[in-house]
Chains A and B, each alone.
Chain A
Amino acid sequence: MEATYIKTKKDGRIVIKSGNKGDRVLKGTIVVLSILTVISFFFFNYAGLELGSAIRETAYNLKVMFLQPALSTISLSEAIYQVGVTLSLAFLATVIGAVIAFFLSLMAATNLSPVWLTRIVRVFVAFIRAVPTVLWVLIFAIAAGLGSEAAVLGMLFHSIAYLVKAFSEAFEEIDKGIIEALQSTGAGWWHIVKSGVLPSTFTYLLSWIFLRFEINFGVAVAMGAAAGAGGIGFDLFMASSFYFDMREVGFITYAILIVAFLLEVISTRMKKRYFPASSN
């Protein structure tokens, strides 16, 4: 052990604060984010903005939306049907995505696959994640035509990327002993997956899938509005951008809100039931 070295400043005063790297990076991040925020206000495009009247109008619109919701261009049964369409789009993308993600994540988990394969899958997934969902949907829409196929395929990509990350992390946390025990009995790779990996992570995977379904519902609404994928999102877009009917916008928003709340409650319940320890 060498004697503790006392750091001094140029004028001889002893340095009493010595932050570690984590602290410095943390502070640096906050400073950089704050500076970028200030700069960004100079980058904004303020074309045609009249703040005072805009705020007043928005307040009025919000009041009409939330206090006097009503349907005018579509009927109630039609609205419910369109919510069903949106839910179905989300469901399809989630289910198909979960199946594909399961196999991909087996390839991405370091304890189940060779390193080179995990790297390839991870880079592939990172690329998919970086392209916004709406761009995937629009790009597929050119090849497949506007419709449910383009929407589901576009949403599928992000669902796969999200679930592969979650699943492969779950697989990597499996007790080594389980895999070793199965290997010593002479079980093949597929046997290990089927009787060791799947049973010990199944509930965990399920709650991730449900969480993704919750996210996909929101995404499906957005795709309806921005990419013409149908469902309640498209009606929302028409009501606000073509008919300027704030009451209908309000009604549709309430419908989306109720479904989103229900999904959130179910997924919180599932999380509490299946893994109460790590609830984030």
Chain B
Amino acid sequence: MNEKTMRKSRWQTVIFLLIIITLTYLSSIITSFSFADGLATIPEALGWMTSNLMVTGESLDKLPNILEKLAETTFMSIAATTIAAVVSLFLGVLGSKTTKVNNFLSVFARFIASVSRNIPVVAWSLVLLISFGQNSVTGFLALFVGTVGFLTRAFIESIDEASQSSVEALTATGATYFQIVGKAVIPQCLPQMISWVLFMVETNIRNATLVGILTGTGIGYTFDMYYKMLDYNAVALVTLTIVITVIMVDLISNYVRKVIL
């Protein structure tokens, strides 16, 4: 690297930083975000949290109710993820370059995945809420659609990456399409896929809270209710139970991932 290229790359860095700073400045104007206020808020918010967000004996009375809702939400996320995984498996096999049946179905599978992934979960839950009403099925379907999009993309990538040579080998022995998929592709990609599914279970429990607030179901609704009743002790309890659940799922899936990968 001579002096000239070094100077050039230094200029590039400066210009890059300037662009970032300008964009940041523009964004803060558009959203009327003030850095000073933002900074000032942090200690204030933390102080408020330590003094108000405390689990008291009184709020513990609500624990059975909260746990019931939490269980509903957790089960909803697991069900949505597992069923989405089954659908995504088919879409993934159809969409992957190595195992596709024909080009049309491949493009079709990728298109479905892309659309359902990029339309935000918010939009799905709001639209479904109108006709399905306030119940678990709404949340389930909203999570399901988003998960299908994400998992299909992940599965297509895992299949593309893993199975080129074994598919070739089985094709050479004269195996049929279903034998190839069942004996080579799926066993080889299964650990990777399960790892993605576990990741998605964890993500979905957190998303389910958001969906719950929007659709009035599960733990999200419980949180929203106490939040609007200004019952911050109960809010703290709800948050704590969610944190414990997510961390537990995280630990389990880390263990499984370590063993299977």
Contacts and interface: CB of A to CB of B under 8 A. Distances in A.
B115 A257 contact: yes
B126 A221 contact: no
Counting contact residues on chain A (CB < 8 A from B), the size range is: 35 or more
B135 interface: yes
A233 B213 CA distance: 14
A249 B256 CA distance: 41
A39 B31 contact: no
Contact of A226 (B23, B31, B75, B122): B122
A184 interface: no
A44 B239 contact: no
Contacts, number: 234
Interface stretch (B41-49, B95-103, B167-175, B176-184): B41-49
A226 B76 contact: no
Contact of B28 (A92, A237, A249, A257): A92
B20 A95 contact: yes
B72 A44 contact: yes
Contacts of B123: 236, 240, 249, 252-253, 256
Contacts of A276: none
A134 B130 CA distance: 22
A152 B33 contact: yes
A39 B201 CA distance: 16
Contacts of A138: 223, 227
A280 B154 CA distance: 8
Contacts of B246: 129-130
Given A92-B27, A130-B242, A130-B246, A144 B131 contact: no
Interface of B: 20, 23-24, 26-28, 30-34, 37-38, 41-42, 44-45, 48-49, 53, 71-72, 75-76, 78-79, 81-83, 114-115, 118-123, 126-137, 140, 154, 157, 161, 190-191, 194, 197-198, 201, 206-207, 209-210, 213-214, 217, 220, 223, 227, 232, 235, 239, 242-243, 246-247, 250, 256, 259-260
B135 A37 contact: no
B77 to A, nearest CB: 9
B75 A135 contact: no
Contacts of B256: 25-26, 29
9 contacts: A33-B81, A40-B78, A43-B71, A132-B210, A143-B45, A152-B38, A253-B123, A256-B123, A264-B114
Interface of A: 21-22, 25-26, 29-30, 33-34, 36-37, 39-41, 43-49, 51, 53-55, 57-58, 61-62, 65, 81, 84-85, 87-89, 91-92, 95, 126-127, 129-135, 138-140, 142-144, 147-150, 152-153, 218, 221-222, 225-226, 230, 233, 236-237, 240-241, 244, 246, 249, 252-253, 256-257, 260-261, 264, 279-280
Given A44-B72, A58-B131, A61-B127, A37 B37 contact: no
A69 to B, nearest CB: 12
Given A45-B217, A225-B126, A134 B75 contact: no
Contact of A36 (B32, B78, B119): B78
Given A48-B135, A130-B250, A134-B210, A43 B75 contact: yes
Given A132-B207, A144-B45, A256-B118, 10 more contacts: A37-B82, A40-B76, A44-B72, A46-B136, A46-B137, A81-B30, A130-B242, A131-B243, A143-B48, A218-B120
